[in-house]
Structure 1
Amino acid sequence: MILALALMVFGEILTIYSEVYAAKLPGKFLDNPSMFVRPMVWICIAGISLVFAYWLGYQATGNIWVVTVASLTLLLILEPIVIYAMLKELPQRGATIGFILGAVGLIATVAL
């Protein structure tokens, strides 16, 4: 189970990093499509990590919902941290409200 969580953390962080990295690339895709090679490689590595994390997590718990909630919780925690670490941007009011409502929804899913 610990290996599954470690792979999930690694995969989620690398996924978020590659998405934000690609979002901030300068220029236009048609001008320089090769600039997307690096984030595409990172997202492939992240995907492999997440596939193994889900497999190991399901093998350890026998319940896909436990694995899914773990993944969503990690995403909810890690995404703001990675984005702030990379861009030093704080969410504005609408995004903050959406984040809070998403967290409440996740808590309700787990608790109810």
Structure 2
Amino acid sequence: MAVAKLGTVVLDCPDPLALATFYAGLLGGTPSASEDGSWVHLEGDGGAPLAFQEAPGHVPPQWPSGEDSQQFHLDLMVEDLDAAEQEVLTLGAKPLDVEDRGRGWRVFADPAGHPFCLCAC
């Protein structure tokens, strides 16, 4: 028997609304901010709940690095890797590992530096 169930995945970042807007463009949904703007969650995206928390001293993970942890990453399933790559770059993602076109995934960083993978369905 499980002790708990996953509620929300929360990403620390310097600008919660900006990062929520990036993920809304990528996953769908609408950003909804707390009154002071330090917390934003994505409403209506239909996937696992995502929220974004202000962390003024946020230091993005270094990828790839054997010395530092990447902390975590999101695997996002897509139908067309090439089309999805163009979309995430337009939204503001940075390519981290996209050179190997023969495999079924490509690695990017969101605008706050969190790594995520686009993975072929």
TM-score normalised over the length of structure 2: 0.27
More helix by share: 1
Choose 1 or 2 for highest CA Rg: 1
More strand by share: 2
Question: Which has the bigger relative contact order, CA under 8 A and spacing at least 6?
Answer: 1
